[in-house]
Amino acid sequence: MKAKAYPFVPSSVAQMEDGMFWDIPLASGRFSAGIVLQRMPTNGPGSRSMFCAGLIDWSGDAPPASDTLQSAKLIAQGFVHLRTITRNRGLVRGKVDLGSIGIEPILMRDSHDGPNVRLIKGYIDCGPARAVQGWRNLPVAATWGFGVIKSLAEKTFDAPEA
């Protein structure tokens, strides 16, 4: 497989891999970073445009680089459309090994309530929620609009100092 040339503007999720990260330009002129936690299984509806993304606890004066993300932790996750990157003027900057930095999709429930609530980690079905003690305390999986990750990053990293 041909090595990826970074940075690039993705035109399809087929170009993306788990662990790829992109810059999120903030209103302050600083940067935050989003990361691909998991691609949607292929051949399903949305598989060319949707993926599970995470906002990581990193910000800086320059776009992120692989070496600056080695101690990053996951702040939030959501299912996003590829345009989440492009509409926020981000570029895919590189890739990290999610396992080596200890980042993985968060265990969530797929809906608020009902008899068929499932537990999921990204797109992986982990079984019926009701079989797990405390399942109601888990966050509910969400699909984020194009600007949600940038809004979360700005609230986290561009908040005025108290």
> 132 — phi, psi (to 5°)?
-115, 125
The CA distance from 82 to 87, in Å, is: 9
Q: State the DSSP code for 19.
A: T
Q: Are the C-beta atoms of residues 82 and 9 closer than 8 Å to each other?
A: no
- pLDDT tens-place string over residues 6-42: 999 999 998 999 999 999 999 999 999 999 999 988 7
pTM of the model: 0.91
* Residue 2, pLDDT score: 57
* Residue 101, pLDDT score: 93
Give the torsion sign (CA, 12, 15, 21, 27). negative
The CA distance from 22 to 64, in Å, is: 7
Query: Strands across the sheet with 50-60, in order?
Result: 74-81, 50-60, 31-39, 20-25, 92-95
Q: Are the C-beta atoms of residues 13 and 46 closer than 8 Å to each other?
A: no
Q: Are the C-beta atoms of residues 56 and 73 closer than 8 Å to each other?
A: yes
Q: Are the C-beta atoms of residues 16 and 39 closer than 8 Å to each other?
A: yes
Helix, strand, coil fractions of the chain, as percent rounded to 5:
20, 35, 50
Q: How many CB atoms lie within 10 A of CB 19?
A: 20
* Residue 123, pLDDT score: 92
- pLDDT tens-place string over residues 87-101: 999 999 999 999 999
The pLDDT of residue 114 is above 90: no
**CA-CA distances (angstroms) from residue 31 to 6, 22, 60, 88, 121?**
17, 10, 5, 11, 27
